[in-house]
Structure 1
Amino acid sequence: MTKDMHATLPNPEPLDRSMTPELQHVIDTKTKPPGSLGRIESLALQMGLIQRTLRPRIERPAVIVFAADHGIASEGVSPYPQEVTVQMVANFLGGGAAINALSRAAGMSLEVVDAGVASALPPAAGLIDAAIRRGGTRNFAHEPAMTRDETLLAIARGAERVRHHAALGTNVIGFGEMGIANTSAAACLMSRLCDLPIDACVGRGTGLDDAGLIHKREVLAVALARHPKSADPLDTLATFGGFEIAMITGAFLAAAEARMTILVDGFIVTSALLVAHAVCPAVLDYCVFAHTSGEAGHRRMLEHLGAAPLLELGLRLGEGTGAALALPLLRAAVAFVDEMASFESAGVSDKGV
């Protein structure tokens, strides 16, 4: 890490696994054959280790959606105009988007953060104005998307939002995003951080046709060739990322530092995790991967991180929707540990089990 990284970034500790035998005993002595609840059992173990308890809980689960615009949108890499970003933020605030419906269904609070939307938004309940630069990032086809200082400020503001929720008692959190052309930013981050050719990273985003997909690949290939590779993940983030992606990077690190269970959404959010992981590998100890996105490239990201997602539903919307859909599985994990009888308490013989 460089000196400014040490001064700015949260620094999560690797998970203390010393309680593993005790937790595993609690899980294994429930009235069931060992391992018969599959991934639900491993979730319970992970959450118990994160919370350092034999009886993990879900407290005030939250999802934070970070929104920002991208200069690369001017290259025609998305079928939607940039104005859709601010329109969708208004939809979030009005309660009419998919993440509104799914977070309500999951019992998660929802916060929307303006990380740098091109058009100013009027003050509204549930909106946090944390914009780094009005107008969005610069066009990385020609110049770095962000300066180093902007990148560090965005990381700090993302971390600040997580710390706010931690102070309220949140111990499970997910992140979502909105920003026209942010799949282009994520694809370039993936290409550099996973050392993959750009064609393996680029997808159709919000619905490009074949000609649009070819154009997007060409634009991003030229952009990557323009900027030299760097061993510093924050330089890569500054060059190709977005304000919302940088804030999510900071949010990941702060959530892990606060010992939260983090529900990881799709392609864009996982691109931020690639950066956070490159900075501090211990962040993965606190992550539960919600799903495999239908966006091309996400599966390769997950392989790079050694992740095993819970769901495969063909989602490719973003917004944190996958995180909201996965929360009931975490609820199931804590419920069986808390509510299911043990062989001893139920007077059931465990011989032969």
Structure 2
Amino acid sequence: MSVEGWKTILVLGGIRSGKSEFAESLVADAPVVRYIATAGEGDPEDTEWATRLAAHRARRPGSWTSEETAGEPRRLADVISSAEPNETLLVDDLGGWVTVLLDPDHQPADDLATVAELAEAIGSCAARVVLVSPEVGLSLVPTTPLGRAFTDALGAVNRAVADACDSVVLVVAGQPVPLKPAAVPPTAAAPSVAAAPATGTASVGSGSSPDDVEPTPEVQLPDVLTHTPPVAPNQEPGNPWAAPTMALPMVSTGLVIQPGMELPMPDEYAGPQAVDRLATLDVPGAGLGVLDRVVGFAAATQGTSTPQAWGSVRVLLLHGDHAGGASAGAVAGESARRAAQARAGRGALARLAAESGASLQVVDTPAAAPIEDGPALTVDQVESALRYGWRLAEQAADAGVQLLVLAACGAGTEAAAAAVLAATAGAEPPAVLGRVFTDAGAIDDAAWMIRCAAVRDALHRTRHSPRGAKDVLSELGGGDVAVATGVLLGATARRVPVLLDGPVGMAAGMVSRDLAGQARHWCLLADHGGHPAVRLAADVLGLNPLLDLRMDLGEGANALVALPLLRSVLALAAALPVHPSLVGDEALDEPATPETAPVDTAPDEDDDDVEPGPTTEPDRDAEPDFVEPEPAGPGPTSTEPDAQPASGWRAG
């Protein structure tokens, strides 16, 4: 059984019921765990008790930290209330805590007040907390006053803690039985990206008309998908596309996304094996050329040396505007119009998605404030946007999506991406800001200078600010970059590759390095589009663009143009047979090699002196028809072909 959606959970059970093992399994994959031991050492001569304690210690991973509260039971509430959001606490157990609480050495004391403090600390704790406690209320009433005092006190503590916790589980004979589910299951609703104007209208200028824009009442996980082909969840056993998300810290509002997360890496052996296999296929010359990287990438992310073409593809179109100088030169309401077009199945992106059989999901992100004046987003908005993006990737993985295409449309996105690159890679804004074009196709140098000035002022304003991932998203990035970063992290956790295209996706890739360095290994860049910011970010992230088409159809559309080519390469690599020269003669039923080939038994007209027969051998002393001439000048000392081409490919 797995328990989801909890922040604080009480695990009850009898003696040897398996409650501690179950509690430890809930936090086994958490990156930061503090084990709170409440029981004292006991009588030194009690070897059985010492053995129990040793068994508990032996089960704890070496990465866990332990803390003792037996010396002062009231300190347990302080430890829980002071825990950080990125921590996970395991308290084992409350029976030992009550024993110490009732010890005469700690009396007189207000035990009821201490229990109330503990319940209040659990209810207000920012970290995840797992508490283990014995359930003694099902046994007989003890016959001794001390026994009755213990059971009464423990019963009161269990009731108070159960009321303060989100979930309660009773473990009976090793089987967990839920008593109190989480108030909000994790799949019930998406976390709201709050505190930002959440309408489909543009936040730049005032020239947009309400009739031209499809309003959106609030920013939430959209259910609108256009051009969605029938997709069955890809949940077959052993399918790497359906691998579950690793356990990560959770709070009541979702995941705790923090720097240094350990997310999965692609298969380090499958990629090189797939590329080596290409050299054996029945193709002429160098075969697929530079597109062999597509095969290696797909093999590593799918975990097999014979990867398949991506069948189910989803395009995530992130729509979010940036106010202030970042959007200089942008037509008011244009991005909202394009988002509404995509929802209706019109426009370049929607048509390309339909041609590719890909689903298209339009996602509204929080509008960003002018970065030259203050932070683009609040800290809470950044946290919510990251979790929101993660949930988008999770939703796609649960639907069997095998490839995500990250797209974006919004006023000022290029300037925001340039600001992120300047903060994370030390780039100069003019070097990474692309030219600004008017509707008529003319270059707008004045708008370009305003954007450069806005990014310059934002960098000057934040020159003393931290450069952590969340700080950069809050000060400079904005809602679209924050949601895109969450998508990359969530896709990495679910082993779903992402096809990037444009400055927003690349800026998200730069930010994700601080949160989880594994994310960039799940990204593929189809084309840089001639954009300077994309080129710089690709160089930093080690993503070599596959193509150089220099199209400018909008972020995400360029990737969809390349998608059929990438699919064709994968399908070809998976279907082509091995070259006949690399397969045994018997298996191919081909003529034997010259060394073992039988000599023609029919006599030639000119060879009257040769007796025909199957055992006739050529005259080895006869002069050959052709002799390789010696080179006249300097050159190689041998004209024999190499055993294997230097490139590693089979010669054509």
Q: Which moved more, 1:296-305 or 1:99-108?
A: 296-305
Q: Which amino acid aligns with 2:528?
A: T
Task: Give the structure 1 partner of residue 80 of structure 2.
Answer: none
Q: 1:28 to 1:217 in 2, by over 3 A?
A: same
Looking at structure 2, the residues matched to 166 and 283 of structure 1 have their Cα atoms a distance apart, in angstroms, of 16
Q: Out of 423, 437, 441, which is 1:192 matched to?
A: 423
By how many angstroms is 1:16 displaced? 2.6
Task: Give the structure 1 partner of residue 413 of structure 2.
Answer: 182
What pairs with 1:1-353 in structure 2 (closer than 5 Å)? 7=249, 8-9=256-257, 11-20=262-271, 22-32=273-283, 35-57=286-308, 58-72=310-324, 75=325, 77-116=327-366, 136-205=367-436, 207=438, 209-228=444-463, 229-343=465-579, 344=583, 353=651
Q: Which amino acid aligns with 1:188?
A: A
Query: Is the CA contact (8 Å cut-off) linking 2:417 and 2:533 kept in structure 1?
Result: no
Task: Give the structure 2 partner of residue 131 of structure 1.
Answer: none
By how many angstroms is 1:155 displaced? 1.0
Q: Which amino acid aligns with 1:59?
A: G
Looking at structure 1, the residues matched to 326 and 469 of structure 2 have their Cα atoms a distance apart, in angstroms, of 27
By how many angstroms is 1:22 displaced? 4.1
Q: Which moved more, 1:60-69 or 1:228-237?
A: 228-237
Q: Which amino acid aligns with 1:28?
A: A
Looking at structure 1, the residues matched to 425 and 344 of structure 2 have their Cα atoms a distance apart, in angstroms, of 38
Residue deviations 1:302-321, cap 9 Å, x none? 22222210122223343411
Query: For structure 2, which runs of at least 5 residues remain unmatched after alignment?
Result: 1-30, 33-83, 87-247, 250-255, 594-642, 645-649
Q: 1:200 to 1:335 in 2, by over 3 A?
A: same
The alignment partner of 1:14 has SS state of coil
Q: 1:4 to 1:65 in 2, by over 3 A?
A: farther
Looking at structure 2, the residues matched to 169 and 326 of structure 1 have their Cα atoms a distance apart, in angstroms, of 22
Q: Which moved more, 1:81-90 or 1:286-295?
A: 81-90
By how many angstroms is 1:337 displaced? 2.5
Query: For structure 1, which runs of at least 5 residues remain unmatched after alignment?
Result: 117-135
Residue deviations 1:197-231, cap 9 Å, x none? 22212222454511221222122211210113423
Query: Is the CA contact (8 Å cut-off) linking 2:506 and 2:537 kept in structure 1?
Result: yes
Looking at structure 2, the residues matched to 266 and 346 of structure 1 have their Cα atoms a distance apart, in angstroms, of 48
Query: Is the CA contact (8 Å cut-off) linking 1:68 and 1:244 kept in structure 2?
Result: yes
Looking at structure 1, the residues matched to 480 and 283 of structure 2 have their Cα atoms a distance apart, in angstroms, of 44
Give the paired residue count.
332
The alignment partner of 2:365 has SS state of strand
- Compare relative contact order (CA 8 Å, sep 6+) and give the higher one, 1 or 2: 1
Q: 1:94 to 1:346 in 2, by over 3 A?
A: farther
Identical columns (%): 24
Q: 1:230 to 1:139 in 2, by over 3 A?
A: same
Q: 1:175 to 1:201 in 2, by over 3 A?
A: same
Looking at structure 1, the residues matched to 511 and 85 of structure 2 have their Cα atoms a distance apart, in angstroms, of 16
The alignment partner of 1:175 has SS state of strand
Q: 1:214 to 1:24 in 2, by over 3 A?
A: closer
Query: Is the CA contact (8 Å cut-off) linking 2:348 and 2:557 kept in structure 1?
Result: yes
Looking at structure 2, the residues matched to 241 and 181 of structure 1 have their Cα atoms a distance apart, in angstroms, of 11
Looking at structure 2, the residues matched to 44 and 50 of structure 1 have their Cα atoms a distance apart, in angstroms, of 10
Query: Is the CA contact (8 Å cut-off) linking 2:272 and 2:296 kept in structure 1?
Result: no
Alignment TM-score, normalising by the size of structure 1? 0.85
Residue deviations 1:316-336, cap 9 Å, x none? 343411221221232123212
Alignment TM-score, normalising by the size of structure 2? 0.48
Q: 1:336 to 1:347 in 2, by over 3 A?
A: farther
Q: 1:21 to 1:93 in 2, by over 3 A?
A: closer
Q: Which amino acid aligns with 2:336?
A: V
Q: Which amino acid aligns with 2:415?
A: S
Q: Which amino acid aligns with 1:13?
A: P
By how many angstroms is 1:294 displaced? 2.9
Q: 1:20 to 1:85 in 2, by over 3 A?
A: closer
By how many angstroms is 1:188 displaced? 0.4
Larger Rg over CA atoms: 2
Q: 1:270 to 1:312 in 2, by over 3 A?
A: same
Q: Which amino acid aligns with 1:336?
A: L
